[in-house]
């Protein structure tokens, strides 16, 4: 169930709408533009921060529990980002990611049937330039909770057809 909300929410509001389901996953965070506290790396299971031109994006892996803690910090604010929900039993090797999920400039959200970018992900939350929230999901639980919490959402397929 793919959803778009033409409003921008703080990550903590979105995670609250999931009613704890976010804790059932590990989350791959990519293409981030965000403000964060100095000790932000303490929250992540693994991360890659690249300081060279061979990689244009940084990658972070975090438990759902720690994502919730991070999102509830006053110093944290996300402008752009892709949050890929991955089952906790799946192994994610940040060194072998071929195509990093991204939001900024990605035309693949605006097609008839957008798909989740990471092959192991069961859902993808996209924060789009402090103006839109997209939620792509293979299951209904996260999407149903999101849709039941926020008014004004639209199905992404019908949004893209109009």
Residue ranges covered by each domain of the chain: 3-161
- Residue with tokens 């019908």, as numbered in its chain: 158
Name which residue leads in pLDDT, 74 or 134: 134
Q: What is the pLDDT of residues 18-50, one digit of tens each?
A: 999 999 999 999 999 999 988 999 999 999 988
Cα–Cα distance, 59 to 50 (Å, whole number): 9
- Specify the higher pLDDT residue, 155 or 56: 155
CA distance 126 to 18: 15
Mean pLDDT of all residues in the chain? 93
Residues 6 or more apart whose Cβ sits within 8 Å of residue 155: 1, 2, 3, 4
> Helices (DSSP H) in the chain: which residue ranges?
11-17, 64-71, 141-149, 156-161
Res 141 pLDDT > 60? yes
CB 115 within 8 A of CB 84: no
pLDDT > 70: what percent of the chain?
97
Model pLDDT for residues 67-110, shown as the tens digit of each residue: 999 999 999 999 999 999 999 999 999 999 988 999 999 999 99
Average pLDDT of the segment spanning 51-80: 87
The per-residue pLDDT for 54 is 53
């Amino acid at each position: 169930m793919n959803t778009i909300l033409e409003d921008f929410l703080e990550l903590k509001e979105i995670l609250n709408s999931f009613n704890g389901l976010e804790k059932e996953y590990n989350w791959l965070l990519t293409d981030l533009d965000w403000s964060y506290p100095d000790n932000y790396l303490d929250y992540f299971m693994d991360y890659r921060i690249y300081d060279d031109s061979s990689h244009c994006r940084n990658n972070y892996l975090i438990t759902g529990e720690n994502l919730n803690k991070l999102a509830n910090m006053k110093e944290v604010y996300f402008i752009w980002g892709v949050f890929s929900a991955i089952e906790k039993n799946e192994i994610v090797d940040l060194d072998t990611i071929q195509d990093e999920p991204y939001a900024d400039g990605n035309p693949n959200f605006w097609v008839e049937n957008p798909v989740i970018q990471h092959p192991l992900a069961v859902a993808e939350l996209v924060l789009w330039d402090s103006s839109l929230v997209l939620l792509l999901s293979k299951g209904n639980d996260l999407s149903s909770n999101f849709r039941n919490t926020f008014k004004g959402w639209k199905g992404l397929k019908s949004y893209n057809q109009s």
